């Protein structure tokens, strides 16, 4: 009898990929996307810089960086913030589960980011998952207790990173 269930890709398989191979592992499925658009990266850089200024360079990282959730989930958030006791040190091969994740949505990844990745992050213990939509100038902040939606004239703020607020008009201005 032949099984119709596809074998799941594991962390070990993922680790055997060549360095620089841009991919994520979502529920045992290897997902490979082309590099993000230039504007996406500008928004990511602005968010990263703001967080670096607040928490320091050793606690915030911009993609690509692997976050090993479990044997079937390895994600690469656009920006992440680690807890104060988990700062990155020389020689670290991976980062721990972040306290805050920011995903800047692309048209090609929006559904996956919202429908799959948010739940994986929250189950893993991430306190806040921010989805920034540069096309609609909207932000969603997901926490285990629910989601808050913000529009362009709002100024969403973090409960987990004191002082972190996004001014969407400034963030999305060139």
Distance CA 37, CA 102 (A): 17
Residue 83 and residue 126 in contact, taking contact as beta carbons nearer than 8 Å: no
**Residue 152 pLDDT:** 86
**pTM for this predicted structure:** 0.90
Summary mean pLDDT of the chain: 90
The domain ranges of the chain are 11-171
pLDDT tens per residue across span 72-127 = 999 999 999 999 888 777 777 678 899 999 999 998 899 999 999 999 999 999 99
Q: Provide the 3-class DSSP secondary structure of residue 137.
A: coil
Torsion sign across C-alpha atoms 156, 26, 49, 92? positive
Mean pLDDT of 149-166: 93
Residue 46 has pLDDT above 70, yes or no: yes
The fold of the 11-171 domain, in CATH, is tt1808, chain A (3.90.1570)
pLDDT recorded at residue 3: 47
Beta carbons within 10 angstroms of residue 1's beta carbon: 3
CB 15 within 8 A of CB 68: no
Per the rule left: phi > 0, alpha: psi between -120 and 50, beta: everything else, 16 is alpha
- pLDDT for 173 beyond 80: no
Instruction: Measure the CA dihedral 46/49/55/57, to 10°.
Output: 140
């Amino acid at each position: 009898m032949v099984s119709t269930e596809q074998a799941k890709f594991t962390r070990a398989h993922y680790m055997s990929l060549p360095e620089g191979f841009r991919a994520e592992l979502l529920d045992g499925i290897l997902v490979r996307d082309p590099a993000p658009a230039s504007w996406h990266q500008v928004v990511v850089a602005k968010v990263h810089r703001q967080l670096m200024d607040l928490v320091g360079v050793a606690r915030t990282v911009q993609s690509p960086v692997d976050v090993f959730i479990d044997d079937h989930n390895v994600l690469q958030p656009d920006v992440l913030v680690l807890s104060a006791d988990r700062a990155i040190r020389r020689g670290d091969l991976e980062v721990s589960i972040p306290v805050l994740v920011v995903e800047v949505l692309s048209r090609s990844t929006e559904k996956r980011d919202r429908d799959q990745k948010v739940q994986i992050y929250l189950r893993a213990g991430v306190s806040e998952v921010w989805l920034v939509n540069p096309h609609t100038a909207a932000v969603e902040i997901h926490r285990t207790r629910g989601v808050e939606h913000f529009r362009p004239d709002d100024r969403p703020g973090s409960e987990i990173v004191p002082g972190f607020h996004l001014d969407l008009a400034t963030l999305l201005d060139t």
